[in-house]
Structure 1
């Protein structure tokens, strides 16, 4: 598989591509293909996180936290109006970091699942 195999993921940046290449450097072509399919199904696009976060400014706050599997923070944002909108604004600014942290965990889960088989 070429070095550009991770470039097909939506919203992927260079840092994420390099990290994924380092994570899968010892994988065979078949395992790398399986990893990409598994990772792509679990990965969250940073633009989706941003859109859901901006929706929290005008209607229901905390949707982006539920999408990132942070249920506790989602409930807190829901009942406090995004911590009086300050938390929602901070999350809108840091949407790439939130998505990157979630995606790192998803990549580690996908890698561990592949090692089990």
Structure 2
């Protein structure tokens, strides 16, 4: 595997890097490059999730949920003030896992799209 491929992804933490590395280990270099280019456009950075969660304390709760395709929860957070800030505080503590779960889902979707291309 070409380790420079993972360098194309910015702000990748160790857990996500290992996950992506295991996901693309059987691909050739061109396939890996294509995967990374598709994946980097869809993934969410943990810093973005953290900042949007903090914004939830100032009247716009739920943005982080919209960014992670949890539209129903985003609407619920917006209209309840992040469950009276309790949900926002929980998301603040768990912002890395929110981003990782979303990014893993996006990685699997990207892999499935690439498989349909090569059939």
| Alignment TM-score, normalising by the size of structure 2 | 0.94
CA RMSD of the aligned region, Å? 1.1
Equivalent position of 2:92 in the other structure: 92
Q: 1:9-50: CA deviations, max 9, x gaps?
A: 222111111111111111011110000000001100010000
Structure 1 residue runs of 5 or longer lacking an equivalent are none
Residue of structure 1 in register with 2:8 after alignment: 8
TM-score w.r.t. length of structure 1: 0.95
Structure 1 residue ranges, 4+ long, deviating more than 6 angstroms after superposition: none
Hey, what does 1:42 align to over in structure 2? 42
Asked if structure 1 preserves the Cα contact closer than 8 Å seen for 2:5 and 2:32, the reply is no
**Cα deviation, residue 2, structure 1:** 2.3
Q: How many residues align?
A: 117
- For residues 25-76 of structure 1, what are the alpha-carbon distances to aligned partners after superposition, in whole Å with 9 as ceiling and x for unaligned? 1101111000000000110001000000000111211111111110000010
